[in-house]
Chains A and B, each alone.
Chain A
Amino acid sequence: MPHACHLCHIELEHVSVSRGGQELLHDVSMHIHCGQLTVLIGQNGAGKTTLVRALLGELKSSGSIRHVNEHGREVPHLVTGYVPQHLEFDREMPVTVADFMAAAFSRRPVWTGVGRKTREEIRQALSEVEAADLVDRPLGRCSGGEIQRVLLALSMHPAPDLLVMDEPVSGMDVNGLQLFLDTVMSLRKTHHMAILLVSHDLQLVREYADHVVLLDKTVLCQGQPDYVFESPEFHRVFGGGEAV
C-alpha cells in the first residue's frame, strides 16, 4: 500500500480492469502526487496503457480513483490533460496548428475561421512550450517533437490537476527530447500539477522521475528511482536493467 501523505494527490485504490473475461490490471494501488513526476515503467503488455485509459475514463475499472486535496478531502472533479503517444493522422489534411487547437479551445466551428481572442489564447499556450512560431503551420508539416509540444500546450488548457503522457517522447531526436522534458519539468514547477508519464526510456526515468511505479498487471514495486531500480523485482523484469 502507498504511504499516507499530506499533499494533494490522485489516489488509485485497488484498481482492476477486465476485458473479454481477461484481467488486464489487478489490484493497482498508487498515489500520483501534485508537483511530482510519477513514471510508469514495465515491459510491453504490462498494462501501462490500460492504466492510462482507465485514468482517462475510457476503460471501466473497479476500485476507486479519487482526487484528494492537501487536507485529505476528496475533490469531486478531476481535470485531466492528456498527451497521446503520437498522432496518426492524414498529414496532407489542410489543418493548421491554430485550427487544431481552436477545435479544442473554442465553440466556434473552425471551418468559419479562428477568432482573434482564441488565436491570442493559442499563441500564449504555445509560447509556454516555446512553440509560438508554429501557430500558422499546417499540422502535417510539424516534426514529431513539434507535434508533441503542441499536444503539451493543448493538454495544459484548461489547467489540469493531472497530466497524463503516454510515451510522448518515443521517436523524438535528442534535442527535441531535452526541450520537451525541460518544458514538462518547468510546467510541473509553475503549475504544481500531478504528472504521470509512461516511458520505456529507463535512462530518462532515472534522471527525471520523482516517483517510479513498476507495473506487470499489478504494482510490483514503487518508490524513488534508485529504490525501484535496485529492487529484485526490477532486475527480474528488466534482466539487470542494462539500459540504465
Chain B
Amino acid sequence: MSIAKLDGGLISTGAEWTFELLERYDHAIHDIAANEFGLDTYPNQIEIIASEQMLDAYASAGLPIGYPHWSYGKEFIRNEQAYRKGARGLAYEIVINSDPCISYLMEENTMAMQALVIAHACYGHNSFFKGNYLFRQWTSADAIIDYMVFARKYVMHCEETYGSERVEEVLDSCHALMSHGVDRYRHPTPLSVAEERDRQREREEYAWRQYDEIWRTLPTRTGAAASQKAAAGRFPAEPQENLLYFIEKYAPKLEPWQRELVRIVRKTAQYFYPQSQTKVMNEGWATFWHYTLLQRMFDKSQVDSGFMIEALASHTNVTMQRGFDQRGYGGLNPYALGFAMMCDIRRICEAPTQEDREWFPEIAGGDWQKVLDFAMRNYKDESFIGQFLSPRLMREFHLFAVADHEDEDDLVVDSIHNEHGFRRLRRLLATQYNRDQLLPDIQVTQYERSGDRSLTLRHQRSRKRPLAEEANEVLRHLARLWGFTVRLETSDENGRLESVCEVRS
C-alpha cells in the first residue's frame, strides 16, 4: 500500500521539500511504524508553518489557541529576542496532544529534517500521547482544542463585559496558583440522588438491625467526644491540595464569571500536568523512534546516506549531554537521558550482560518491543528511572550526586557511579523527577465558614526546605481571589507548627 514500496528505492534526494514528498515520506514512515513496529497512533494532522508562527506557538506553550494575557506577550518577546539574537534556535516542531494529533513543521527545515520531525512527532510523541497512562487518565485529546476555543471566547467576552483590568486581575492570581491547581488523584464521580437515597436507606436499616439498648449504657469519654465534634465542624473535612479547585467551588466572594475563569486556568493546568512528569520518557521515546524509523528507512534504501548524515547530525545535537563543568551545562538533558535509556532497554533485551541479568532479571533477554511498549504505557519519569536506569548508563553518563545539607559547611559528594552508589544514585535521580518533591506541599486545611470566612493553608516542610520569598506575593493573590483573610501555616515534618503568615484582605 505504501507508495514508497511501489516506487521502490529512494524517495528523494536533495534538501528541497514539496508537499508531495512530505506525503510520500509520511506514507513510508507510517508503513514502518505501524506495520513493522506496531506503533499505535492517533491520526496525524501535519501543519507547515513559518518561523514567526512557531514563535507564536511557543508563547502559548504549544497550544494553537489561547486566551489573551500579558504573560504570553512576555514569553513571546523573550523567545523572539533570543531567536533574533541567535542565542537560541527554534524547535523543529511542536506537537499537540490532541486527536487528530497536530504537529507543526517549520517551512525552513530541509527534507531530511522534515522526515525526522515527522518520525519524531507524528509517530513518536503521537503514540506516547495515545499510550501513556498519565495522558490517558488526565487529558482528553479529542476535546482540548474545542475547550481552548471556548476559553478564548469566554475570556474575551468577559473582557468586553467587565473590563480587561478585572479579568487580568483574576487571571494573574490564578496563574500564581497554577502549580497547585491540579488533581493528582481522580475524584470519585458524585453520586446521583437515587444512589444517595439507596445508600442512606441501607445505612439506616443496618443501624436499626444493629441497635441494642445495652450500648447506651456505656459511659462516653468526654475528651474524645469533644475532639470528634471539633473535627466534624472543620471544613473541609479532609485537607484539599487543589487550591484552584477549592477556590472555584468555595470562594465566598467570586462572581460566576470569575469562577469560570478560575476553572479555565485550572483545566489548562491539568492539561499540562502529564507533560511535566513525562518529559524524559516522552522525549526519549520520540527520539528513540525517529532514530529507529529512519535507520530502518536507510536499511530499506528509501533514503540515501546524505539524508542520514544530516538527520544524524541533528539527532546528535539533540542528544548531547554536557558535563557539569562544561559551558552551557543545564542539568541532565531529557532527550539524552531518555534516548539512552530507551536504547539501553533494547540492548538489555537483545544482548544482556551478566550485570544486566542481575539487575533486570525480568526483562533481560526478553522481547524489546514488548518491554518498551509496556514501559511507555505504565510509567512516568520518576518510576521509569527508578525501574530502568542501568548501572551501565550511570557509568556512561558519569553520574554523581551532590548533597547540599543545611547543617554541613560544604557540599558533600553523596554517591558516584560505583558499585556502592548505583542504587542510591538511581533513587536520588528518580526523586529528582518526582513532582511531589519539587513542589512544596501546600494544602487547604480550614475554611471558617461560620466565622470570619478566613482560609487557612498548611505548608508541610519537607526536609527543612523553605518556601521561596515570593510566597507572600502568591498569598496576596490568593487573598484577592478569596476576598477574606488568608493565612499560611508552616509546619515541620512532624506536623509541629513553626510559623504563620497572614494576609488580610
Asked if chains A and B come from one complex, the reply is no
